[in-house]
Amino acid sequence: MRPSLMRSASQLARRRRGYSSASGQPERKVAILGAAGGIGQPLSLLMKLNPLVSSLSLYDIAGTPGVAADVSHINAPAQVKGFMGDDQLGEALEGSDLVIIPAGVPRKPGMTRDDLFNINAGIVKNLCTAIAKYCPNALVNMISNPVNSTVPIAAEVFKKAGTYDEKRLFGVTTLDVVRAKTFYAGKANVPVPDVNVPVVGGHAGITILPLFSQATPATNALSDEDIKALTKRTQDGGTEVVEAKAGKGSATLSMAYAGAVFANACLKGLNGVPDVVECSFVQSTVTELPFFASKVKLGKNGVEEVLGLGQLSDFEKEGLENLKGELKASIEKGIKFANAN
């Protein structure tokens, strides 16, 4: 057999096994719901560039064909298709390994994450109903705020549909980690690529608890006041961006980056890469709360292990107790909304 024919046969065999002929990686379909929005567009760009993605499905209520055409011209392997409107949602989702949801309205000046609730909760409920029908085994990465409530909404929708698997539902809190790393590196004067900071709790205000006592590389250069200031800045990072944009947007670019980082970790886990650990808001027994963000080990089925909090400083112990009431209320609000009708 000629070498060219042997290559063709090999490529065909790979495709039949569900493997990308170009890279030897498993073929992975990623769907982005809300792809034409402020987070969705840069997230679509970043996922197109990800070599682990073989098929990229972009969905929104409007504007998606243009985004898909634009992104599809980039010379990266992922095949891109755009879908628009309720009647194309099923096709957008079918066969997805990973669904990322940045859909919803952004935060404006003076608006809390709670103000977003009534609009975004309804959007998330509808999208998750479709996910349960068309790709019930997909990993779901929830970006739509308020994450502290939208993740419990998704869980309830999936429970009603009989498809809930707590290992496959994630609240994306990676932006809190990204901010904590950046702010810590700047204050401690260490190279930011080397920094790691776990962030636990939730994804709004005081529910965000960066564990700077566990930051690496460790430093003695920061005072207790520095740690308190870094904690407050991490918690208020979203507001900092909203105010800086003066009514013209929220954290879209940094959120898209953070979403792409977490999605990449999920894909690596699915592909069997060992020891992939990221922080995420998941069903948890780390505290008495039913959902909680902490370090999570990712694997072929999603959550492989929810990791404990480790040793906390007195300041962090106090922060943990202070956040529980607000986080509990947000979780219960989501569950109540999902079961209201």
Q: Tell me if 331 is assigned to a ligand binding site.
A: no
Nearest to 266 by CA among 136, 131, 96: 96
Angle at 73 between CA 68 and CA 75, to 5 degrees: 125
pTM of the model: 0.92
pLDDT of 320 > 50? The answer is: yes
Q: Is the pLDDT of residue 21 over 60?
A: no
pLDDT in tens, 23-69: 578 999 999 999 999 999 999 999 999 999 999 999 999 999 999 99
pLDDT tens column, 208-221: 999 999 999 999 98
Q: How confident is the model at residue 16 (pLDDT cuts 50, 70, 90)?
A: very low
Q: Does the annotation flag 120 for ligand binding? A: yes
Strand-pairing partners, residue 280, are 294
Task: Choose the catalytic residue: 29, 125, 203, 295.
Answer: 203
List the domains of the chain with CATH numbers: 29-173 (3.40.50.720), 174-332 (3.90.110.10)
Task: Say if residue 250 carries a ligand binding annotation.
Answer: no
Q: How many CB atoms lie within 10 A of CB 223?
A: 9
Burial class (CB within 10 angstroms; exposed 0-12, middle 13-18, buried 19+) of 10: exposed
Q: Which DSSP string corresponds to 106-157? A: PP-TT--GGGGHHHHHHHHHHHHHHHHHH-TTSEEEE-SSPHHHHHHHHHHH
**In whole numbers, what is the pLDDT of the chain averaged over residues?**
92
Average the pLDDT over 276-295 and give the result: 98
CB atoms near residue 5 (< 10 Å)? 9
Q: Is 39 annotated as a binding residue?
A: yes
Instruction: Give the pLDDT band of residue 115 (cuts 50, 70, 90).
Output: confident
Render pLDDT for 134-149 as a digit per residue (tens, 0 to 9): 999 999 999 999 999 9
The answer to the question of whether 100 is labelled as a binding residue is no
User: Is 37 annotated in some ligand binding site?
Assistant: yes
The average pLDDT across 18-22 equals 49
**Does residue 150 register a pLDDT over 70?**
yes
Distance CA 288, CA 292 (A): 9
The mean pLDDT of 145-159, rounded to a whole number, is 97
Q: List the structure tokens of 208.
A: 């965000």
Mark whether 203 is an active-site residue. yes
DSSP annotation of 216 reads: B
Peptide bond into 193 cis (omega under 30): no
Q: 78-97, pLDDT tens digit by residue? A: 999 999 999 999 999 999 99
Instruction: Work out the angle at residue 133's Cα, subtended by the Cα atoms of residues 25 and 135, and round it to the nearest 5 degrees.
Output: 5
- Alpha carbons within 13 A on the beta-carbon side of 183: 24
Q: Is 60 annotated as a binding residue?
A: yes
pLDDT of residue 133: 98
pLDDT greater than 60 at residue 164: yes
Q: Is 199 exposed, middle or buried (0-12, 13-18, 19+ CB in 10 A)?
A: buried
Q: What is the pLDDT of residue 8?
A: 37
What pLDDT, on the 0 to 100 scale, is given for residue 113? 63
Among the listed residues 65, 138, 61, the one whose alpha carbon sits nearest the alpha carbon of residue 104: 61
* CA pair distance 77, 55, nearest whole angstrom: 9
